């Protein structure tokens, strides 16, 4: 099974903070601008 990933729409400051928070919990984030 592949590692879970979450898509975040919007690569602005809030999107980057969300990606960092997900990373701290072991999830991968895909930023879509």
Structure tokens at 11: 């690569």
H/E stretch holding 5: strand 5-9
pTM score of the predicted model: 0.74
- Please report the DSSP string for 6-27 in residue order: EEEE--SHHHHHHHHHHHHTT-
Interval 1-33: pLDDT, tens: 677 889 999 989 999 999 999 999 989 999 998
The predicted pLDDT at position 3 comes to 77
The predicted pLDDT at position 33 comes to 87
């Amino acid at each position: 099974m592949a590692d879970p990933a979450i898509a975040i729409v919007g690569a602005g400051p809030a999107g980057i903070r969300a990606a960092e928070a997900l990373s701290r919990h072991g999830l991968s984030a895909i930023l879509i601008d």
